[in-house]
Amino acid sequence: MEISEIEDNLHSIGEPKVRTTAYMRTVYSFSYMRIKMLDPTYMVECVRVFVPVYVKVLAIFPELEAARPRSTSGIQALCALHMALEKTKNILQHCSECSKLYLAITGDSVVLKFEKARCALEDSLRRVEDVVLQSICCQIAEILNELEGIEFSLDPMEKQIGDDIIALLQQGRKFNGNCNDNNELESFHQAASKLGITSSRAALRERRALKKLIERAQAEEDKRKESIVAYLLHLIRKYSKLFRSEFSDDNDSQGSTPCSPTVQ
């Protein structure tokens, strides 16, 4: 069954007032499947160490839900854990689905989001630990030990890739073509290759991801982000000819040329 079909089936179930254990197992099994399908080419180490812990929390959540602590503190603890799981899922999916070029230049920010998600999971699990049965507490304690031992950081090579791309942005070059195009091509090609953008399919995926970021920036009225992402989109379009034209995007027209951004 395709992922989209599973999503449709889950939506058709709806949100009953009393969620059954079977329902919760279906939901979290689906989340587990989604995370197992992640294939990041950036922030690889952060994803690698966080996914196993996230999956373990998903595995025990139906038991926690079935226990149904009736106290106000118990209900609040479960809600906090649910929100922490959502935050963790979002950052993991962000690393898998976002533009690799954009991830590279926002690496420090992404690491901070990983740390915030880790802290949210740890804090919420400690709250839940106080209101559930001892048998589940043992599992929670093991997960907490793992969470405490996790430290997120940028791989030196990933940091260098980000620095190289930022250097291109900082040149503040107008998109009118000049004698430095060869240098720009070499710098961009090296960075893109290290990020796994080495085929026309990968370049197409990157363009689509960048266009989604532009739409989001426009919706948020974030002009600086829009300018930076527009420059990255310009680069990937400009140098997509490096790859064989096996795939095309009908909506990927050259369009108007944006102004070069300034990266602080």
Distances 28 to 5, 22, 49, 163 between C-alpha atoms, Å: 16, 10, 20, 38
Q: How many whole angstroms separate alpha carbon 40 and alpha carbon 112? A: 18
pLDDT of residue 106: 94
pLDDT of residue 169: 86
pTM value? Answer: 0.75
| Cβ atoms 77, 130 nearer than 8 A | yes
pLDDT tier, 245 (very low <50, low <70, confident <90, very high otherwise): very low
Sign of CA dihedral 200, 206, 210, 212: positive
Alpha carbon 264 to chain centroid, angstroms? 23
pLDDT of residue 158: 87
Give the mean pLDDT of 80-96: 92
Q: Domain extents for the chain? A: 3-148, 156-242
| Cβ atoms 70, 180 nearer than 8 A | no
Residues 6+ apart with CB under 8 A from 242: 189
pLDDT of residue 30: 44
pLDDT in tens, 38-65: 555 567 788 889 999 999 999 898 888 8
Q: How many whole angstroms separate alpha carbon 72 and alpha carbon 224? A: 43
Q: What is the DSSP string of 188-225?
A: HHHHHHHTT--SHHHHHHHHHHHHHHHHHHHHTT-HHH
Statement: residue 8 has pLDDT above 50: no
Could you give the 3-state DSSP secondary structure of residue 67? Answer: helix
Closest by CA to 161, choosing from 82, 105, 111, 231, is: 105
Share of the chain above pLDDT 90, in %: 41
